[in-house]
A and B are shown apart, each in its own frame.
Chain A
């Protein structure tokens, strides 16, 4: 049993140990730039990534009395999570240092959140899944509130906490109904029971609705999106970047585990629910984003529309659909990290960037950064040479293959609406005159600059050669069923 745990759950054990040791070392090593804590965290991510990649992709390994699973999906999403978190830490280091928030608590909370994400991705039991969600949410609430001096942060944390608790309640209610009708908490056994026994369809649909609503809340999909803009705006930019990127992998995993692997016999029921949520998210996200004047709110609504695209792919229930969604989530996180990385890069130099108009006249000031901004927003909009185009294209292709013409048309229309506000950002940075004279400090962090450039370069390179990532996503999704 022990050897089994050590092979399957070794990455999680490493993350847990490093989270606790960072917490302890944070008390003793109080050097100014927290470089040792930063190094330990990055090293832990690297080691965890190494041991995760050693697991076989084709087989399904179970541990902890079959509550914990390592399969293709967990391999794909976990490796992306480590990569995403590593980038988040590189981008946010200087910013947090300036705000005096770069301490042991920050690193350990981020690692605990990652542990929660990993547990959600790997759970094969409703109890483990729920506890993973709680671990992730609790760490995120604290990370939002950790900048106590700002009132907005506390307000955002309060909103996030209350809405998150309600969503967890919904999810738990659905789980309890599933337990009541099937008598088991194991995902595979629930699926088996629903297929075999005659179950009152009313209770089953109640359970399904509660579970789907819970997932949609955590995802930030349209009728349940109200917390997203407030939390994005309220938390400090690195935390927003973290919330907007890595936990989305956990949401996707939660959806696939609960709907595809547990309630797979009800595919006709949840398909329509996901489709409705996808369409509302795409339209509402893109239309509301037009009216925004703050950058973070705009990116929040853009996130909602991207979530809509992912849900559209996941709603099809086909392998092409899931692989398109898995491809989309990877590219979405890459684009989100680049866009927030850019905002942080500018905030380090010019002071906090809040309004869109703060970007005006960027091209005269820093032509290279303006060029990076151009590429990032073209990619978010989905313009051809970048990866955003291929991601949207593959989702729409999967939708058409499934025979949904109208949803595909709506997706294209909402993407067109989206292009307007992304291009407006580029216009402001390139053609508008500088409104406020800013003092730009010349101290530039090369590490951040290099990472940002590489990140943006990846958007183009992956856009030109998307086949490798797409092949991996297809392989992963083929092994889900």
Chain B
């Protein structure tokens, strides 16, 4: 007998699968980016069903709200040539099938519970809210990894700026010192020409 939550699960899952299919089959990259947004929304819905409300909200806020919007901007700004992207699809197809097969076997192995023990992995009850539990563990037990991830992000920011900033040429203001030093000869060149005869 199916419960009400099962119907919701199947509803979100079918939307998720359809949206994911649309991501890879859509002709227009903007459509596929928008389908990805839909896929994220449905995944967030499934997470909500699993009582993982913090992850669901984070997914919507971070991926849908920030990452995908940026992604859409980039897609719209770049002039992507679809023909060159689609070339060679069929020649890569057997390889893609192979990889997909490997993935399916891997997922089966993980889900089948034959090799990995699931029992020892800690789970939290639903007595406290998700946010509370994550916050609790993040700032006590996992303090060091949390801090290091902050440092890694800082290094990423420094790297991005150090590698892309081109120094002084970003502004067009003129240095007064240079303005005073300017001489007539720097600006004007008088060319002697013969006057043309009529």
Interface centre among B140, B141, B142, B155 (most CB of A within 10 A): B155
User: With a CB–CB cut-off of 8 A, which chain B residues contact A349?
Assistant: none
The answer to whether B116 touches A105, judged by C-beta atoms less than 8 angstroms apart, is no
Contact between B144 and A142 (Cβ–Cβ < 8 Å)? no
**Which one of B144, B151, B156 lies within 8 Å of A128 (CB-CB)?**
B144
Q: Which residues of B contact A131 (CB under 8 A)?
A: 145, 148-149, 152
User: What string of 1s and 0s marks CB contacts (under 8 Å) between B95-130 and chain A?
Assistant: 000000000000000100011110111000000000
Give the size range of A's interface with the partner: 35 or more
Interface window among A53-61, A108-116, A228-236: A108-116
Interface centre among B114, B117, B120, B162 (most CB of A within 10 A): B162
Could you tell me if A119 and B120 are in contact, using CB atoms closer than 8 angstroms? no
Contact across chains for B159 and A16 when beta carbons are under 8 A apart: no
Q: Flag whether B143 is at the interface (Cβ < 8 A).
A: yes
| A148-B163 in contact (CB<8A) | yes
Total contacting residues, chain B, CB less than 8 A = 26
Is A64 within 8 A of B151, CB to CB?
Answer: no
In Å, the complex CA distance between A450 and B116 comes to 58
Residue pair B152, A135 in contact (C-beta under 8 Å): yes
A142/B121 in contact, CB under 8 A: no
| Docked complex Cα distance between A81 and B140 (Å) | 29
Which of B110, B114, B144, B152 has the most chain A CB atoms inside 10 A of its CB? B144
- CB of B158 within 8 Å of the partner chain: yes
A146, B158: Cβ atoms closer than 8 Å = no
Q: For B163, give its contact among A20, A65, A139, A142 (CB under 8 Å).
A: A142
| Alpha-carbon gap, A202 to B116, bound state (A) | 12
Quick one: which of A92-133 are within 8 Å of B by CB?
105, 108-109, 112, 115, 119, 125, 127-128, 131-132
**Residue among A109, A128, A142, A145 with most chain B CB within 10 A:** A142
Taking the nearest CB of chain B, how far is it from the CB of A357, in angstroms? 34
Residues 145-168 of B, flagged 1 when their CB comes within 8 A of A and 0 if not, give 100110110111011011100000
CA distance A115 to B152 in the complex (A): 11
A108 lies within 8 A of B144 (CB): no
Q: Which stretch from A35-43, A180-188, A259-267, A467-475 is at the chain B interface?
A: A180-188
Tell me the complex Cα distance, A67–B146, Å: 12
B158 engages A142 (CB within 8 Å): yes
In whole Å, how far is B140's beta carbon from the nearest beta carbon of chain A?
A: 7
User: What is the CA–CA distance of A132 and B148 in the complex, to the nearest angstrom?
Assistant: 8
Give the docked Cα–Cα distance between A141 and B160 (Å).
Answer: 11
> A119 to B116, Cβ gap below 8 A?
no
Q: Chain B residues with Cβ under 8 A from A127's Cβ?
A: 142, 145
Chain A residues 155-208 with CB under 8 Å of chain B are 180-184, 200, 202-203
Contacts A131-B149, A180-B116; A65 near B156 (Cβ below 8 A) = no
Give the nearest-CB partner of A157 in chain B. Answer: B163
A64 touches B144 (CB 8 A): yes
Residues of A within 8 A of B158 (CB): 23, 105, 108-109, 112, 142
CA–CA, A247 and B163, complex, Å = 22
Contact A138/B156 with A64-B143, A64-B144, A181-B116 known, Cβ cut-off 8 Å: yes
Asked whether A183 and B156 contact (CB < 8 A) given A68-B144, A127-B145, the answer is no
Contact of A183 among B120, B140, B163 (CB under 8 A): B120
* Chain B residue nearest to A13 in the complex (CB): B147
- Which residue in chain B gives the minimum CB-CB distance to A204? B115
Q: Which residues of B contact A134 (CB under 8 A)?
A: 152
- Does A112 lie within 8 Å of B162, measured CB to CB? no
Q: Which residues of B contact A184 (CB under 8 A)?
A: 120
CB neighbours (8 Å) of B151 from chain A are: 16, 112, 115, 135
Report the separation of the CA atoms of residues A68 and B145 in the bound assembly, to the nearest whole angstrom.
10
A65-B140 CB under 8 A given contacts A115-B151, A138-B156, A148-B163: yes
**When the two chains form their complex, are residues B143 and A183 in contact, meaning their CB atoms are under 8 A apart?**
no
Which residues on the A side are within 8 Å of B120 (C-beta)? 182-184
- Residues in chain B near residue A132, CB distance under 8 A: 148
Are B155 and A119 in contact, CB atoms less than 8 angstroms apart? no
B114: A residues at CB distance < 8 A: 200
CA distance A180 to B114 in the complex (A): 11
Chain B residues with CB under 8 Å of A180's CB are 110, 115-117
Q: Which residues of chain B have C-beta atoms less than 8 A from A135's C-beta?
A: 148, 151-152, 155
CA distance A105 to B155 in the complex (A): 10
Kindly state the separation between the CA atoms of A200 and B163 in the bound complex, as whole angstroms: 47
A181, B115: Cβ atoms closer than 8 Å:
yes
Chain B contacts with A in 178-198, Cβ cutoff 8 A: none
Q: Which residues of A contact B149 (CB under 8 A)?
A: 131
CB distance from A143 to the nearest CB of B (A): 9
Q: Which residue from chain A places its CB closest to the CB of B149 in the assembled complex?
A: A131
Tell me the complex Cα distance, A134–B152, Å. Answer: 8
| B159 CB to nearest A CB, Å | 4
* Neighbouring A residues of B117 by C-beta, 8 Å: 180-183
Q: Which residues of B contact A141 (CB under 8 A)?
A: 159
Residues of A within 8 Å of B154, CB to CB, are: 20, 112
Bound CA span A125–B143, Å: 13
Is the CB–CB distance between A146 and B144 below 8 Å?
no
Q: B115 near A67 (CB under 8 angstroms)? A: no
Tell me if A128 and B155 are in contact (CB < 8 A). no
Q: Which of B117, B151, B163 has the most CB of A within 10 A?
A: B151
Q: Which residues of the other chain, A, contact B156 by a CB distance below 8 angstroms?
A: 138
Chain A, residues 322-333, CB within 8 Å of chain B (1/0): the string is 000000000000
Interface centre among A115, A180, A182, A203 (most CB of B within 10 A): A180
Q: How far is the CB of B106 from chain A (nearest CB, A)?
A: 11
B142 to chain A: which residues have CB within 8 Å? Answer: 65, 127
A142 to B154, CA, bound (A): 13
List residues of chain A with CB within 8 A of the CB of B159: 109, 138-139, 141-142
* Measured CA separation A68–B115 after assembly (Å): 29
B163 touches A67 (CB 8 A): no
Instruction: Please give me the 9 A-B residue pairs with the lowest Cβ-Cβ distance, nearest first.
Output: A183-B120, A180-B116, A142-B159, A64-B144, A131-B148, A105-B162, A65-B141, A203-B115, A127-B145
Q: Beyond A127-B142, A183-B119: 4 further Cβ-contacts under 8 Å?
A: A109-B158, A109-B162, A135-B152, A181-B116
